[in-house]
Structure formats: structure tokens, C-alpha cells
Chains A and B, each alone.
Chain A
Amino acid sequence: MASSKTITVEVDDVSYTDDVEPRLLLVQYLRERLGKTGTLIGCDTTNCGACTVHLDGVSVKSCTMFAVQADGHSVTTIEGLARDGKLAPIQQAFHECHALQCGFCTPGMIMQSASLLNENPHPSEQEIRDGLEGNLCRCTGYQNIVAAVQAAAEGTVSSDSGASESAGVA
């Protein structure tokens, strides 16, 4: 076993310093060391995208990075997306458009959608579908996910609903 490395990573606005094995994946660091279990693991070949997070504001699959590669960087997970007690528009849109069923792809799908909208605030349907290519969903057939991204882009989601409150967003 290789010797451990010390890393400092900011995750959802909190700075963490930890000793980690060099082989530890970022997603394992998030889930097992920080308890950030909102980020999920769905495959072992970087195909499904369930583990998608933002690294310095851009989406990455956290199963494809070692934790040591995140040293000195800022990570946002699904748990840090809501701000000031309010869901991000894309979260609200997923709820209103029924863009999730079992919810397992949802954290990654939302993070990828948010990143997509950062890059292209007004994507076409095809641009949305292409932009989500790396995230698999087995429940929805993607139609309502596409609709949610469109709704978030068009700003047609309501600014607040029961979802914020019952999610316990602080």
C-alpha cells in the first residue's frame, strides 16, 4: 500500500484536510471520508454519471478522479447546490417536471444539467440530449429530464414550492 498523501479540498463551502491513499477515488473520499453520500456510484467504468460533481464549477465524474487530484480545488456536490435555503432552479425544475423516479441517477443528472446550463444557458433539445450523454437514467426515458433542463433555462420554474421546505434545505 502506497503511503498516504495530505490533501486540502473545499467541498460544499467547507475546507477539509485529510490523509488519503493515493488510489482513493474522489467519489470514495466524498462518500466514505466526508459522509457526502448524496453523490452516488452506479458503475465502475465512468459510463453512468451518477457520481457527477463540480470541480471548480465544471462537471466531472468523481469516480474518474483520484482524491489527490482534487487537492487545492473546490468541489460542489448535490448537497451543496441549494443556496440560502432555496433549491437551485435546476433542482426545482427536476421536481416540477417529474424528472426523477427512483432518484439514483438524479444527483449526477442535476449536477451535469447545471454544468450544461452554465456553458450554454439556452440549449436546444438536441444540445440538452447531447450534453447529458454521459449520464444514464433507467427510469424516465429522459423526456422529463430534458423538459426540466428546458424549464430551468427558460426560468419557468416556480421560485419556491413545498420541495424546499420538506427537503429541510437550511
Chain B
Amino acid sequence: MTTAEVGRARPRKEDAHLITGRSRYTDNITLPGMLHLAMVRSPFAHARITSVDASAAKSSPGVVAVLTGADVADQQGSLPNAWPITPDQKAPAHPAIAVDTVAFAGEVVACIIARSAAAARDAAELVDVSYEELPVVLDLEEAVKDEVLAHPDLGTNKSATWIFDSGEAGTGKPVSEALAAAEVLIERTFYQQRLIPSFMEPRSTVVDPTGEQITVWSATQVPHILRLMLALTLGIPESKMRVIAPDVGGGFGGKLQVTPEEAITVLAARHTGKPCKYTETRSESLMAAHHGRAQVQKLKLSATKDGIVTGLDVHLLADMGAYLGLVTSGIPILGAFMYNSIYKFPAYRFECTNLFTNKAWTDAYRGAGRPEATFAIERLMDELAVELDMDPLEVREKNWIKHEEFPFTTVAGLEYDSGNYEAATAKALELFGYDALRAEQVRRRESNDPVQLGIGISTFTEMCGLAPSRVLGALNYAAGGWEHAQVRVLPTGNIEVVTGSSAHGQGHETAWSQLVADRLGVPFENVEVLHGDTQISQRGLDTYGSRSLTVGGMAVLAAADKVIEKAKVVAAHMMEASEEDIEFTDGKFRVKGTEQSTALGEIAFAIFSAHNLPDGFEPNLDSDATFDPQNFSFPHGTHLAAMEVDTETGQVTIRKYVCVDDVGVVVNPLIVEGQVHGGLAQGIAQALYEEAVHDDAGTLVTGSFVDYLVPGAPDLPHFTTARTETPSTTNQLGAKGVGEAGTIASTPAIVNGVLDAVRHLGVKDIRMPCTPSRVWAALEEAKMTGGVQ
């Protein structure tokens, strides 16, 4: 088979309509008679609702109806949490419109339905809600004390406690022994600040209730999951609901959700019998769309004096926020398997307590659990290096899995199929000019240069390709991790590929076309990829967790293979040969040892006409396949950051950023590189720029893009990216996934670099984001406490 397409840097099919303004985002949709919604949201983080007076709003011009929690109490159900991590997990009821109490500022208390968006917003100001304020709990270390409760009726802030112990699991020794026998013990507490996914397209939903099926267009990553969950939540037969994700303007996990606003738009459409649209403002999005990260990590790492790690103990407090969203509770658990990263730790224990607070709920954000884990271990490896006065790369190399040791079963119980950390690191060092930068660092230290230089290292891996269904079952996740695809051969020989993974910027249309063009030997242009509509793509588990290619792409290939097998039967019949003598190469079925051949298109037309087919042959080449991975895939890489810190102002500048990622076999290098760039930007943003800040009352202070600092072009450097390629052995293509790599790897690289620049001045740690004021304050504090020198 030729591989003309796989590996080719093709500009995307998706671009044409997006660069010309012919986009189909949800908010662009207008339907006849469509009504517009505006939400009335609680200004208080925790309060009892004593009354809702909507009379003035109802008589406001253009208003058709107002829905309160009481109005829909018997229809709205409770929004789903699909991941009860323990049998005794506690969770509050989660009505789309609050009925009695609100538990975070921004929670919906009423919905205006009006003839225009402006009329709806005007009327929202007129709803008079009386609240009786309740005490708020906002901080994890306060929440764990159970003194102030986010949900008093639960009796505790603790949702669940989940433990992995390598001694008990039989994957390693007990960590208690390792810690007791430690020659070197590193104890640290790290804070993963709360982040806001900040997809560029605000969430938007349009619901048309007038057809046989209620049609829901939504800015979602998960049309299939949304259909099932909305149906179950609202008591609508699933068969009566169609969900379409048209163009979706980014997700990053933030649109992996079943939202109150989506449910409310369905309720409003059913209530009025008219199409309804809700589009959030950016301020609403920042306040009420789910947040990410928000963990306190208490860590103990034991090692020998030679730098061999002997054990790792992780104790997490994880902020659920006020409710459990779709996979809120499982996010820290996704990290649980990654704290040991690329290393051969003999003992490991992980304990996580999920806690409620009176803030917006958290859930998946790019990396989801794995960036937190990677940050912790990569910071610890640097701390160990400092403690032992070793080069941080040397400490890593002493502990990592050597390339000849794969496959390797880790202390967390995962089997890493392949990898070559030595190769990626060697390439990164070469591109970075490591030795020269170290020499410059020494010079600057010796000359007391006001701008100090630091080098940050992050050698990471991640588990991608979510996920083997059996593993998800073992973790008590409600759904599987398979993906579905269909390959349809039209009478002209053109191909339609239906994929269950729903893209929102990832380039599936291009990449899947490349896969199928190669496999079926048809031109790239002749392949059309369809997705994101449950009427077209009936089965699917959508896009998140770097799963699209490693799971969804494999389903596409499997379906294409079934097409070939079916077509072979007809090819043999047409060429009067035996099936065993037919081989398929370059889009042609050939009779072995002869010049005789027939093209897929000819067979497709023969099947369409069905005049002369083998007896009993069903006249149809179309094929379905569902792929359930047997293992995760494990991309890895080495990221190096040269950080300049102005010790007089605290200003941090990224002087150079080099990353070498091993994502296995690459279908489209252009798309892969784009994923890396964007991932780096988000990981760097956590290190340097972004934080969701609340005041003491629980109000989000960073409630607009004026205050929540999504980096712009001048805030980021030019990245040097490169790849090594160690194919995955767990899928036929050898792909590993790339969507989250940059985000996972870059945060610790940056922070390690900042600290490396100023540690000799007595600075031991800086909480993220490392803003100029924090860096400056850390330097001042070090001076005051008579830091080193």
C-alpha cells in the first residue's frame, strides 16, 4: 500500500469556510419565530432563595415568558455526574435552574424568554430575587475542616476519597516503608490554581422543538453524550432528540459538559413551542462555564543519596466547586496514574479528597488531571536535584525507563507500550544549546546581572486515547471508551466517512480523509468526512482526552478494511477469479499474477446497479466499525525553557522554548505542530498568566477578559518544535495522540526555569501564575529572610 497521504503536511479542508466568514457557529443560526433567552444569575456564592418576583419582567416589552426554578422543578431533573468514583460518593442535587438555594455566584435562578436578545436582557434586570445569604467556603484547606459547609444538607464538604496504593495493588512496595527508609526526603506543597478554559466561542444553544425530534444545536464537544444525558435528565425519549454540534469554536474540555443552559434552552423551547436560542456573554462564560485544575498537592518523595527515587506519596485536595459536573469527580483520578510519569519508582501512594466549595464547578480542562500530576513530579525532580546538587537532567535520567525496557509496567499499574526518552532528550538538548545556556547562566550569576537566566526542564508522558472500556468500567465511569466510524462508498466511487468523534478545531476532516485516501487508494479530494450530528453519526463518544486519532481514527481504518473485504467478493465475481486470488493495492483489485484489475469505483457502481452480483451478496459496500482500545497510548517528550527573570521588576521573559515530542506516527505534521503550539500556549498561561480569582464573598474577580489574562501574541515566544517517532504498539497506525501534550509539559518547564533563575538568591518556590508581582515579592522576601548569598 502507498502511504502518500499519511505523513503529508496538508493544509486543511476545514479552512475554506472559516477564512471567508461562511461559518456555522451555533449563534449564527436563526430560525423562523425564534425566541431568545437571557439568564438571571445569583450574585451570591451561597444563599437561600426566599422569593422570585418576575412580574415586572413578564410585562417588559417583548417578553414571552419567564421560567423560575419552581416553574420547572418537576421537569428539570438533576444534571448528570457520570463518574461516581466511590460507591459512597456524595453529590448535591443539581437543578438547571436553582429552586431553593444557590451554591455559587453565577448560578441560574430564572430564565427570560423574549422576542429579541436585547429584550430578554432588559427584562433580566427586572427580576426581583430575594436572597438570604449563607456563609461561604472557598478555600480547599478550609473546606476540608468541614466548619463551613458548601451544601449544609450534605453534612460535609467531602464528596469522596479515592486511594491508590502500590503496596495494596501489588504493583509496587508500600510507600510507608520507602519514606521511613529515605536517605533524602523532599516534602512540598504545590497549588494548582483554578483556571478557566476560555474557548473563544462563548457557549450557545439553539433548540427547535417543532419537528418529530427536538433538534438541539449546541457549541459542544460531545453531541452524542449530550443527546443521551439531556434525554435522561429531562425525561425525553432519546429517540426524540437530535443533537448537532455545528462549527464549534474551541473546547479544551470546557465544552465536555451537559450544561444547565443547554437543559434550560430545551425546557424553554418545550414551554413555548418555539425555537429558542441562548448565547452566553463572555462574562457569563467566565463565571458559570466550568473551571479547571484547582488542587492542593501535598507531596513526599524519598530517594537515595545517589538520586534514585524510592517512593512517592501524593495527597490531594481537589476542588469540585459547588456541584459535580459530567466528569468533575474523575479528573483528579485521571492524574492518579501519571504522578510516577516516565520514572521507575518502586513505591507509590495516591490519596485524593474531593471537596465542595462555593465556586463554579470544575471539570475537564486540557490535560485534565495529568498536567497537575506532571507539574508535581517535574517540580519534585528539580527539587531533588537541588537537594543533591545534581544536574536536573541527570536525576531524571537515573530514574526514567530506558528505551530497551519497554513494554514497562509502572508502579501505577499501567503498561507503557513504547517510548524513547533518551532520544527525545538528546534532540532537545541539541536544539536548545543546553551547555552554552548553562555557561551563560553562570556568567550572569557571577556578574550579578539584574536579569538572571534559568533553565527549566520537563520530561513528561501522558496517558492518551481515552480509553479502554474495561479500564473505565473498573474506575466506575458510566460510559465506555470506544469510538465508531462508518465508511460509505457512493455509486461514483466517492467516499463518505462518518466519525463519532466530533471535531472543534482538530482537523478531523483533513486527517480522516488522509487516512481513508491511503487505505482505499482514492484521491484525498474524493473523501468527505461527516460528523457532529446524531442523525448522521448515530454512535459516538466524541472528542476529548487526545482520543480522536488513536481511537476514532482506528475505527475509521477498521471500517475501511471492511469495505475492502466486501468489495473483494464482487471483484472476484466480476473478474471471474477466486476470492483468494484477489489482492488490493493502490485502489485497485487485481487478480494475482495477471494484468486484470478493477477499481473500487467500478465495483461501487456494479453494486449500485446490482445487476450482476454473486448469489446472496447484499448489494452494499458501506461498513461500520467500532474500535475499543486495549490500552492507552503514551506520548512523551522533553521540553526545555530558558527563562529570563528581571530581579529588579519581577518581569519574566521566555527567552527560548524547545520541545521535542514523541507522539508516534503522524498523519498530518501541520496539524500536529499546531496542536503542540496551542497546547504550549495554554500550559505557559497557567505558569505565568492565568488564575480565576475570587473575593472573600465568592465573587469571581477575574470575570472578564480585562482581568482574566488569556495570553496574546506579544505574551508568547516563537517555539522551536521537533519530533522523535517511537510508534505506539497498541494501535495499527502507531499513533499516540497530541492534543494535550504541550499543555501538560510546558507548565513545569516554565516554573522550573523561573525558579532556576532565582533560586541562588534564596527563592524556594513561587505560586502560579508567576506574575511579576509574585516573582518580585518572592525575591524581596528572600532578601528579608537573608536568603543565600
Interface residues of A (CB under 8 A from B): 1, 21, 23, 31, 35-45, 47-48, 50, 77-79, 81-82, 87, 91, 94-96, 98, 100-107, 110, 125-126, 128-130, 132-146, 161-164, 166-169
Contact = CB atoms under 8 A, between A and B. Distances in A.
A138 B682 contact: yes
Nearest to B674: A98
Contacts of B677: 140-144
Interface stretch (B473-481, B504-512, B640-648): B504-512
A100 B713 contact: no
Interface stretch (B169-177, B308-316, B457-465, B702-710): B702-710
A21 B505 CA distance: 36
Contacts of B281: 44
Nearest to A146: B713
Contact of A137 (B18, B22, B200, B202): B200
A168 to B, nearest CB: 7
A141 B504 contact: no
B100 interface: no
Contacts of A125: 718
A103 B13 contact: no
B25 interface: yes
Contacts of B27: 37, 40-41
B61 to A, nearest CB: 7
Given A102-B504, A142-B681, A133 B714 contact: yes
Nearest to B712: A133
Contacts of B12: 95, 98
A103 B674 contact: no
B505 A102 contact: yes
Given A91-B20, A95-B16, A163-B15, A45 B282 contact: yes
Contact of A77 (B13, B21, B247, B504): B21
A100 B61 contact: no
Interface in B121-143: none
A132 B715 CA distance: 11
A138 B671 CA distance: 15
B678 interface: yes
A43 B196 CA distance: 14
Nearest to B703: A45
Given A101-B505, A102-B248, A43 B201 contact: no
B538 interface: no
A110 B201 contact: no
A77 B20 CA distance: 9
A50 B14 CA distance: 19
Interface in B254-273: none
21 contacts: A36-B21, A37-B21, A37-B28, A44-B281, A45-B704, A77-B21, A91-B19, A95-B19, A100-B18, A103-B249, A104-B23, A126-B714, A130-B713, A133-B712, A136-B710, A138-B678, A139-B250, A139-B505, A140-B678, A141-B678, A167-B22
Given A162-B16, A162-B525, 20 more contacts: A40-B249, A44-B704, A47-B706, A78-B20, A79-B22, A95-B11, A98-B673, A102-B200, A103-B505, A104-B23, A125-B718, A133-B714, A138-B681, A139-B678, A141-B679, A142-B712, A167-B19, A168-B16, A168-B22, A169-B20
Contacts of B674: 98, 101, 139-140, 144
Contacts of B25: 37, 40, 104
A132 B22 contact: no
B236 interface: no
A102 B201 contact: yes
Nearest to A35: B30
Interface residues on B, range: 35 or more
Nearest to A132: B713
Contacts of B30: 35
B390 interface: no
A124 B716 CA distance: 15
Given A141-B716, A142-B716, A98 B11 contact: yes
B712 A136 contact: yes
B685 to A, nearest CB: 9
Contacts of A94: 15, 19
A136 B706 CA distance: 12
Contact of A48 (B15, B200, B506, B679): B200
B22 A105 contact: no
Given A143-B677, A143-B719, A163 B713 contact: no
Contact of B16 (A41, A98, A167): A167
B638 interface: no
Given A48-B282, A130-B714, A133-B714, A105 B704 contact: no
A1 B712 contact: no
Contacts of A91: 19-20
Contacts of B718: 125, 143, 146
B73 interface: no
Instruction: Name which of B18, B25, B282 has the most chain A CB atoms within 10 A of its CB.
Output: B18
A162 B526 CA distance: 13
Contacts of B679: 141
Nearest to A47: B705
A87 to B, nearest CB: 7
Interface in B1-58: 11-23, 25, 27-28, 30
Nearest to B677: A141
B200 A50 contact: yes
A145 B713 contact: yes
Contacts of A41: 27, 202
A162 B19 CA distance: 13
A142 B282 contact: no
Contact of B200 (A37, A39, A98, A105): A105
B162 interface: no
Contacts of A48: 200, 282, 705
Contacts of B250: 101-102, 104, 138-139
A143 to B, nearest CB: 5
B506 A101 contact: yes
For the complex of A and B, list the 8 residue pairs with the smallest distance between their C-beta atoms, beginning with the closest.
A38-B21, A104-B249, A102-B505, A103-B18, A141-B677, A47-B705, A78-B21, A141-B681
Instruction: Name which of A39, A105, A132, A143 has the most chain B CB atoms within 10 A of its CB.
Output: A143
Contacts of A39: 21
A98 B118 CA distance: 37
B713 A128 contact: yes
B680 interface: yes
B252 interface: yes
Nearest to A106: B18
B505 A43 contact: no
B20 A44 contact: no
Given A42-B201, A138-B710, A167-B20, A96 B705 contact: no
B494 interface: no
A89 to B, nearest CB: 12
Nearest to B250: A102
A43 B21 contact: no
B713 A43 contact: no
Interface in B595-638: none
A87 B22 CA distance: 13
Nearest to B506: A101
B22 A136 contact: no
Nearest to B247: A103
A157 to B, nearest CB: 11
Interface string B358-378: 000000000000000000000
Contacts of B682: 138
Interface in B50-82: 61
Interface in B676-724: 677-682, 704-706, 710, 712-714, 716, 718-719
A44 B282 contact: yes
Contact of A110 (B19, B202, B673): B19
Nearest to B252: A138
Contacts of A43: 202, 282, 704-705
